[in-house]
Amino acid sequence: MPERRSGERVPAGLEGWFASETTGDPVACTVWDLSETGARLVIPAAADVPLEFQLRIPHEGTVARVRLLWTAGSHYGVKFTD
């Protein structure tokens, strides 16, 4: 499968979270890797992942608006929208 990412992917391994739209409860995730345009998240348990949400990475003091692009098992690809 050809690489479609415009920027280089960098391993991150950072703890993050987002709020589920239906419950409002925080959902923990791992920011597996990052590029200039997006990230791959790993969400170990079944979760209600909205199409668009704010991803928070407390260790980095980062909040980013993202859009869900793809899923594969517990891996979720998101694109930064802001």
Among the listed residues 8, 47, 54, 55, the one whose alpha carbon sits nearest the alpha carbon of residue 31: 55
Distance separating alpha carbons of residues 54 and 68, to the nearest angstrom: 11
Query: What CATH number labels 10-80?
Result: 2.40.10.220
pLDDT band at 3 (very low <50, low <70, confident <90, very high): low
pLDDT band at 1 (very low <50, low <70, confident <90, very high): very low
pTM: 0.85
